[in-house]
Structure 1
Amino acid sequence: MRLNIKDPQARIDHGIDWSAYLAGQVIVASAWSVAPVEAGGMAVEANAFEDQRSSVRLGGGIAGHVYRLTNRVTLSDGQVDERSIGFRVEER
């Protein structure tokens, strides 16, 4: 899992290009989650998806904390897959 840096006041967009993993399928559903869930922690503000890409807008986070952002997608043939990305929140 790679680690990205995010400022607590930043609202950033992040995306995953799933095209290399789809084998002719398309994304029909996408859900994002952040762990740990905590007051003032990093949170999903908005999300969207297209046939081969999913995206999310993140806000918040507590400086010094590390969060795992997970995207779980359902494909047109019913398969389910997920990818996670780490974020460390730091004042910039």
Structure 2
Amino acid sequence: MPTFVALLNWTDQGVRGYKDTPQRAEAFAAAAQKLGVKVLNEYWTVGPYDMVVVMEAPDDETATAALLQAGGLGNVRSTTLRAFGRDEMDRIIAKTIG
């Protein structure tokens, strides 16, 4: 299944409710699972992003739907990256060789 890395920033609303962030993360994982998304890891970070979420989804659309649901609650904004594992990168490189 494709892997995605979501870089999250709290909105003003999200930072006001920082005490609830562990419960919000659990709720996101549960809602995402209902869509077929598996949350592999959630990290709270310092620096330019407040959280990093690593997840697997069947496709881009499903990953986007899960993150839109989360963003729609008003606590976070996300930047999402498609991540490629070693096997996937080997296949990509093989395609360039022909």
Instruction: Give me the TM-score of the superposition, normalised by structure 1.
Output: 0.41
Q: Choose 1 or 2 for highest CA Rg.
A: 2
Higher strand share: 1
Higher helix share: 2
